[in-house]
């Protein structure tokens, strides 16, 4: 009988485990908050301009998660720091609080919601599907000022776009390296974004009450750009964290230093990334000379380029300006290289480069780079 009783006990224990009972060493399952909302509710309350009477709270770690992507208007109160940061919560205990974190398997938002309820808040919800669900439903994510600063400092491959009016806002102060594409002129200036649809784009404007950047970002997505984000806290958050950005009244030398010419391993040719950066962010800091034939130039060309054939370059080499670097371009890298070879020995006072690439030009000012022909 003893062996039989032992067998029955083992069988019962196995059934208990199969049915979901606690297992030694498995730990206790975290408790889920009962009041759950879906993405539609969050979309309603995460609108720009920011709505009063609601606070959306990201319970994930700030630097590793919130900074690199969060729901619009959300504030960062990591669950681990909830007690320390609880002062950020509104004084009105009837305010709608929506907590979220990293999805259905993430307990952080639930834990924070229980803590808020214990503090006396009466309208607490959890968006259990969290940030992954927000993105999967086609919504835009937003990055923080700290993340933008990190990208700028490491010279990351990204285009930062200021969607505010140029004269009234951008020219008076903007995020460093940002280009100006006001929403009202987006269709006309969209060529400044280039043709690489995988290029990361970050749009910003005047903060959580400003709808210009979300509207511009949607336009970029409609053009086929795949990696579009917002810095929705915008220039006010940048200015508060890092001080005023560059203005239109900066001296030319200071502006030039923001965009350097990178020649990679070849001192006479400019790299593709450096060329794209200059064309997008600082086209007026160089003389861009297109040495194709006039007939080719008339069909399509870059907006700031001037046309001089190789023969004209040779005739006028002594007249070439030296106030800014010169970059020669053509359609395959052959004629631009020839122009460089003519000028370089004759004018040691010039900073001169050429783009060794195949270039396909579009009538709207866009272009595509490829290996040299």
Residue 67 sits in a domain of what CATH number? 3.40.250.10
Same structural domain, 241 and 271: no
pLDDT at res. 5:
55
Domain boundary among 119, 136, 153: 136
Domain membership of residue 272 (yes or no) is yes
Confidence of residue 4 (pLDDT cuts 50, 70, 90): low
Please state whether 252 falls in left (phi above 0), alpha (psi between -120 and 50) or beta: alpha
Determine, yes or no, domain membership for 25: no
The two beta strands, 352-354 and 159-162, are unpaired
Count Cβ atoms below 10 Å from residue 372 Cβ, excluding itself. Answer: 16
Q: Do 296 and 357 belong together in one domain?
A: yes
User: In terms of Cα–Cα distance, which of 239, 232, 64 is closest to 142?
Assistant: 232
Q: How far apart are CA 312 and CA 296, in angstroms?
A: 16
Mean pLDDT, range 322-329, rounded to an integer: 94
Report pTM.
Answer: 0.64
266 and 346, same domain (yes or no): yes
Would you say residue 6 lies in a domain?
no
Domain membership of residue 7 (yes or no) is no
Asked whether residue 83 is assigned to any structural domain, the reply reads yes
By residue count, the chain amounts to 373
Residues 261 and 233 placed together within one structural domain of the fold: no
Q: 96 and 169: one domain?
A: no
Average pLDDT over residues 1-27: 44
> Of 136, 160, 193, which residue is a domain's last?
136
List the domain range (segments joined by +) for residue 165: 145-248
Residues 259 and 273 in one domain: yes
In this predicted structure, the answer to whether residue 9 has a pLDDT above a threshold of 70 is no
Judge contact between 45 and 54, C-beta under 8 A: yes
Half-sphere exposure of 213 (CA within 13 A, CB side): 32
> Computed from CA positions of residues 197, 203, 209, 215, in that sequence, does the dihedral angle turn out positive or negative?
negative
* 70 shares its domain with 45: yes
What is the model's pLDDT at position 252? 42
Distance in angstroms between the alpha carbons of the first and the last residue of the chain: 88
Distance (Å, whole) CA 130 – CA 132: 6
Instruction: Report pLDDT digits (tens) over 24-58.
Output: 333 457 899 999 999 999 999 999 999 999 999 99
Angle, CA of 312, 315 and 319, to the nearest 5°: 95
In contact, 89 and 120? CB cutoff 8 Å = no
Residues 104, 175, single domain; the answer is no
Beta bridge partners of 328: 289, 354
Q: Are residues 260 and 236 in the same domain?
A: no
108-134 per-position pLDDT tens digit = 999 999 999 999 999 999 999 999 999
| Number of domains comprising the chain | 3
pLDDT in tens, 241-278: 999 999 877 644 444 444 678 887 788 899 998 899 89
pLDDT for 370 beyond 90: no
Task: Let me know if residue 30 belongs to a domain.
Answer: no
Residues 159 and 185 in one domain: yes
Residue 338 lies in a domain: yes
Is position 5 within any domain?
Answer: no
> Across all residues in the chain, what is the average pLDDT?
89
DSSP alpha helices (H): ranges in 87-222? Answer: 108-118, 130-136, 145-153, 186-189, 212-222
Same domain (yes/no): 280, 300:
yes
Are 130 and 150 in a shared domain? no
How many other CB atoms are there within 10 angstroms of residue 10's CB atom? 10
Q: Out of 2-16, 157-171, 213-227, 250-264, pick the least confident.
A: 2-16
Percent over 70 (pLDDT), the chain: 89
Q: Are 174 and 204 in contact (CB under 8 A)?
A: no
Residue ending a domain, choose from 115, 136, 157: 136
């Amino acid at each position: 009988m003893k062996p039989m009783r032992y067998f029955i006990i083992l069988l019962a224990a196995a059934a208990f485990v199969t049915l979901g009972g606690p297992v030694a060493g498995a730990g206790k399952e975290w408790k889920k908050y009962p009041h759950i909302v879906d993405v539609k509710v969050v979309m309603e309350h995460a609108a720009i301009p920011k709505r009063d009477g609601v606070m959306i709270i990201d319970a994930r770690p700030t630097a590793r998660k919130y900074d690199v992507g969060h729901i619009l208007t959300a504030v960062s109160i990591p669950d681990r720091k909830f007690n320390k940061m609880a002062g950020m919560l509104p004084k009105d205990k009837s305010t709608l609080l929506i907590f979220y974190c990293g999805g259905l398997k993430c307990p952080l938002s639930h834990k924070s919601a229980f803590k808020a309820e214990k503090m006396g808040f009466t309208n607490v919800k959890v968006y259990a599907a969290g940030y992954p669900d927000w993105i999967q439903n086609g919504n835009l994510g937003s990055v923080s000022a700290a993340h933008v600063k990190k990208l700028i400092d490491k010279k990351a491959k990204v285009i930062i776009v200021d969607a505010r009016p140029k004269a009234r806002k951008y020219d008076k102060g903007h995020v460093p390296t940002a280009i100006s594409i006001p929403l009202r002129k987006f269709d006309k200036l969209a060529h400044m974004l280039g043709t690489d649809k995988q290029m990361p784009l970050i749009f910003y404007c005047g903060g959580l009450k400003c709808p210009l950047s979300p509207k511009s970002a949607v336009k970029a997505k409609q053009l086929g750009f795949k990696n579009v984000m917002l810095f929705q806290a915008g220039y006010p958050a940048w200015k508060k964290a890092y001080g005023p950005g560059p203005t239109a009244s900066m001296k030319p030398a200071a502006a030039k230093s923001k965009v350097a010419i990178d020649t990679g391993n070849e001192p006479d040719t400019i790299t593709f990334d450096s060329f794209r950066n200059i064309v997008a962010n600082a086209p007026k800091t160089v003389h861009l000379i297109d040495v194709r034939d006039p007939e080719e130039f008339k069909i399509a060309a870059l907006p700031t380029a001037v046309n001089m054939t190789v023969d004209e370059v040779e005739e006028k080499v002594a007249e070439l300006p030296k106030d800014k670097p010169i970059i020669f371009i053509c359609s395959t890298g052959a004629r631009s290289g020839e122009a460089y070879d003519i000028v370089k020995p004759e004018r040691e006072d010039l900073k001169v480069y050429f783009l060794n690439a195949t270039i396909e030009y579009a009538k709207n000012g866009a272009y595509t780079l490829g290996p040299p022909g």
